[in-house]
Amino acid sequence: MDDLSLERIDISGPTLASLIQRVSSSPGDVDGLIFGQIHRIVPSNLSDDSPADSVASSSSSSSGQLVATVTSFLCSGKTVSFYDPIGRVDSRRISSLGVDSPDRLIGWFSARRKTANRPSMRELAVTSSLSSQFQLPIEDLENPNSPANMASSVFFLLTTPSTEQLIHTHEYRAYQFRSSNRRVEPRSVAIVNIGPAFRGHYGTFSPKSGFPPLIYDLRSSAMNEDRDEGSLSAKKQALSDQKEIDALAEGLQVGYLKRLVGAEAANYTGGIEEMYERMLAKVESLASEVEQSSAKVFEQDNRNRKLRYRIARIGR
């Protein structure tokens, strides 16, 4: 039962975002372990065929599809953390990383920078060694009394583009190791974000990696103080604007809206329209101020660009 094929790999949006953030905040290449579950999903084939045909279709699909769901991860902060340089996994190193439940270990991940998005020979060896040492149960709701196990053969590869780009991007692909042909085969990744069937994914995520070190800088703290003073003045201006808008809507409570329905509606619509006209005038005034401030920022940006150009020429 260790060479079953996965249909796809599910991972929630917060889990994937946390993994990418942990990888991008690391000073170099890293690797780590992936935890989750394996589910057997039996598709329901409802049709108007004869009973014999329906029985045959249900028996043919009784095996169902295997879906791996990633619930959490553990980032080591370095490479060659739980295996040796030739790719042999050491279970003692996995225990030293603080793995509480190895029965939920479905695979591992590797994050490299400015490399091609394809597994290397060492990553293939690590995945093969991990799948041969660890297995996890398959959760089958249709047949709970017939337990089955599957090898921990899921592998995530995260890379960055090999060429410089204006937008910083991360590329990721998921693979499954197949012991029959000693190869890793790509699998589709489904990012679970919405829908009532996916609400359980948000409650199962538990981060296992520590926070990155916070570097305190006196210069940055001084800049932050100046920025805080500017933000304080902006908050005061926003409060004064909000008070003006509240003054425009003064006297128009929710109970007042009942008068807008019925025979007396004509007597009160004029006041509502006047209130909205004053609000629109205030919004237009705020939009004009934002436009003027944006123009000033653009002009200052051009001045800074010219100064940097002059300094670069003087440095030559």
Specify the range with the lowest mean pLDDT, choosing from 31-35, 93-97, 105-109.
93-97
Confidence of residue 125 (pLDDT cuts 50, 70, 90): very high
Burial group, residue 18, by CB count within 10 angstroms (0-12, 13-18, 19+) = middle
DSSP state of 104: G
Q: Can you give the pTM of this predicted structure?
A: 0.55
Tokens read off for 62:
């009784």
Q: State pLDDT tens for residues 256-296.
A: 556 666 666 666 667 777 777 887 888 888 888 888 888 88
In this structure, the dihedral spanned by the alpha carbons of residues 186, 192, 193 and 197, taken in order and rounded to 10 degrees, is 160
> Which of 182, 203, 224 is the last residue before a domain boundary?
203
Q: How many structural domains compose the chain?
A: 2
Same domain? For 180 and 67 the reply is: yes
Contacts with 161 (C-beta within 8 Å, 6 or more apart), sequence order: 114, 169, 171
Same domain? For 254 and 157 the reply is: no
Same domain? For 128 and 268 the reply is: no
CA distance 132 to 178: 11
Is the per-residue pLDDT at 55 higher than 50?
no
Same domain? For 87 and 198 the reply is: yes
Same domain? For 291 and 184 the reply is: no
Question: Who has greater pLDDT, 280 or 70?
Answer: 70
> Which of 186, 203, 220 is the last residue before a domain boundary?
203
Overall average pLDDT of the 179-188 stretch: 90
Contact predicate 7/185, CB 8 Å: no
Same domain? For 23 and 172 the reply is: yes
Same domain? For 199 and 131 the reply is: yes
Closest to 94 in 3D by CA, of 47, 130, 70, 46:
130
45-59, 65-79, 212-226, 263-277: range with highest mean pLDDT: 65-79
Same domain? For 17 and 81 the reply is: yes
Same domain? For 69 and 154 the reply is: yes
Q: What residues make up the domain containing 188? A: 6-203
Same domain? For 64 and 133 the reply is: yes
In this structure, the dihedral spanned by the alpha carbons of residues 308, 310, 312 and 316, taken in order and rounded to 10 degrees, is -170
> Which of 175, 203, 231 is the last residue before a domain boundary?
203
Whether residue 239 is contained in a domain is answered as: no
- Domain of 127, CATH number, reads 3.40.140.10
Same domain? For 66 and 199 the reply is: yes
Same domain? For 61 and 166 the reply is: yes
